[in-house]
Amino acid sequence: MTHATPHWLFGDQLGPHFLAPDGEQGPDRGAPLVMIEARSVLRRRRFHRAKAHLVLSAMRHRAAELGERVTYVRAETYREGLRRAVGDAPVTVCHPTSYAALRLVRSLPGARVLPARGFLVGHEEFAGWAGKLGGKRLLQESFYHWVRERHDLLMDGGRPAGGRFNHDHDNREPPPRGATELDVPGPYRPREDDIDAEVREDLDRWEREGAVRFVGRDGPRRFPATRREALSALRRFVAHRLPSFGRYEDAMLAGDQPYTSGGAYIHRMSDLCEGCAFRPTERTGPRACPYTAGYWAFLHRHRHRLSGNARMRRAVQGLDRLADLDDVLRQERRRGDEVP
């Protein structure tokens, strides 16, 4: 008698399509499931507290739905959690959505990485499209056209519905002058439950203990944490908010800019991201915010390619003025290696 190989679900792989068997491309039918809540993820970088609450709430809600089929482990790291869940047994896992997580699962001798399931276009399909460009620039607009044509999305007899692909020019209306809100129906708001309360209590305790540190505040939860909530939010958006969406999609209201009410906000942001945005300083190294370090490390990694781009050439030249580039690169390497 053969037993199905356990299947590992990351926190952004909670939809039903991550469980549907598809020959060798998916998990075994009825496979036991593993979910790991690794607290080290919250220590690698400072999360916004609302995001931490949403992710943990979604994971715990999904585990409650799956019931006895899932082994849910709360551990310090993914490796520890997986060891507690399955020991040395092999597992399958869908292609993760980050390079760090992909390196982790590929380093595990018993893990078999399945194709990604969270995207309309798979990796091989995208590579095939890009390979046919014959050296032309990779443009998101071109990819957008190709996807709509290939999947017949918003198409009418082989032509884009409405006569053209891009309507951005029509969707840039400014809000009424001085408006603090728009005259449109409000968004869907989920109702919190005992699981949300439990997550919030855990976050409070971890902060008090000094185990993790967050930025911002959370509560009440604004975004769906379950499939049922997500479908309810989609239905409300399509029925009540979609007709007004395009006009104001790029609009920003006075109330959306907290720094205008005083200087404290902008000073705090300056302290957090000093050295960001194309201006290298001697403080961009060990104390750099993740965005800063990631930005300069990306430029360094692709400097030869980007130096040929007129729009990026000046930014790449900034690398030569960055006194502590080695520290920046070490910080990024550590961040990549600290996969829990």
Let me know whether 77 and 178 are in one domain: no
Write down the H helix ranges in the chain: 40-44, 49-66, 78-86, 99-107, 123-131, 140-151, 194-209, 227-236, 242-245, 264-272, 290-301, 303-306, 313-317, 325-337
73-118 confidence digits (pLDDT tens): 999 999 999 999 999 999 999 999 988 899 999 999 889 999 999 8
Model confidence at 152: pLDDT above 90: yes
Domain shared by 131 and 234, yes or no: yes
The CATH number covering residue 239 comes to: 1.25.40.80
Same domain, 57 and 106: yes
How many separate domains does the chain show?
Answer: 3
Checking if the pLDDT of 259 tops 80, the result is no
Cβ proximity of 260 and 252 under 8 Å: no
Q: Please enumerate in sequence order all residues whose Cβ is within 8 A of that of 44, keeping only pairs 6 or more positions apart, or say none.
A: 335, 338, 340
Q: Which residue has the higher pLDDT, 84 or 184?
A: 84
Residue 331 domain flag? yes
Q: Which of 11, 160, 28 is nearest to 98 (CA)?
A: 11
Is 171 a member of any domain?
Answer: yes
106 and 73 in a common domain: yes
Residue 199 falls within a domain, yes or no? no
48, β-bridge pairs? 215
Residues 235 and 182 reside in one and the same domain: yes
The pTM for the full model equals 0.75
What are the pLDDT digits (tens) for 201-212? 999 999 999 999
Task: Establish if 182 belongs to a structural domain.
Answer: yes
- Between 154 and 325, name the one with better pLDDT: 154
Residue 36 has pLDDT above 90, yes or no: yes
Co-location of 60 and 134 in the same domain: no
pLDDT at 336: 60
**CA–CA distance from 122 to each of 25, 65, 249 (Å)?**
12, 28, 28
> Do 303 and 280 share a structural domain?
yes
| Start-to-end C-alpha separation, the chain | 35
Tally of CA atoms within 13 A in the half-sphere of 227 that contains its CB: 11
244, 271: one domain? no
3-state SS assignment for residue 279? coil
Q: Are residues 81 and 75 in contact, defined by beta-carbon separation less than 8 angstroms?
A: yes
- At residue 256, the pLDDT reads 64
CATH number, domain with residue 87: 3.40.50.620
Same domain, 105 and 147: no
Answer with the one of 96, 114, 132 that is the final residue of a domain.
Answer: 114
Interval 305-313 mean pLDDT: 79
Are 63 and 72 in contact, with CB atoms under 8 Å apart? yes
Q: Which of 50, 84, 114 is the last residue of a domain?
A: 114
Q: How many CB atoms lie within 10 A of CB 275?
A: 22
The pLDDT assigned to 254 comes to 65
How does residue 25 score in pLDDT terms, banded at 50, 70 and 90? confident
> In terms of residue numbers, what domain contains 174?
123-186+225-248
User: Which CATH number does the domain housing residue 305 bear?
Assistant: 1.10.10
Task: Determine, yes or no, domain membership for 217.
Answer: no
Q: How confident is the model at residue 337 (pLDDT cuts 50, 70, 90)?
A: low
**Shared domain check, 276 and 178:** no
Summarised one tens digit per residue, pLDDT across range 264-293 is: 444 444 444 444 443 444 444 444 566 677
Q: Are 70 and 35 in contact (CB under 8 A)?
A: yes
Q: Are residues 155 and 76 in the same domain?
A: no
| Identity of the highest mean pLDDT range in 7-11, 162-166, 214-218 | 7-11
Q: Is residue 83 part of a domain?
A: yes
Query: Of 90, 114, 138, which one is at a domain's C-terminal end?
Result: 114
Residue 253 in domain: no
In this predicted structure, the answer to whether residue 335 has a pLDDT above a threshold of 80 is no
What is the amino acid identity at position 141? Answer: E
pLDDT at 296: 81
In a domain, 194, yes or no: no
Nearest to 96 by CA among 211, 213, 11: 11
Domain co-membership, 127 together with 240: yes
Whether cis (ω within 30° of 0) applies to the bond prior to 220 is yes
**How many Å apart are CA 75 and CA 199, to the nearest integer?**
15
How confident is the model at residue 284, as a pLDDT? 43
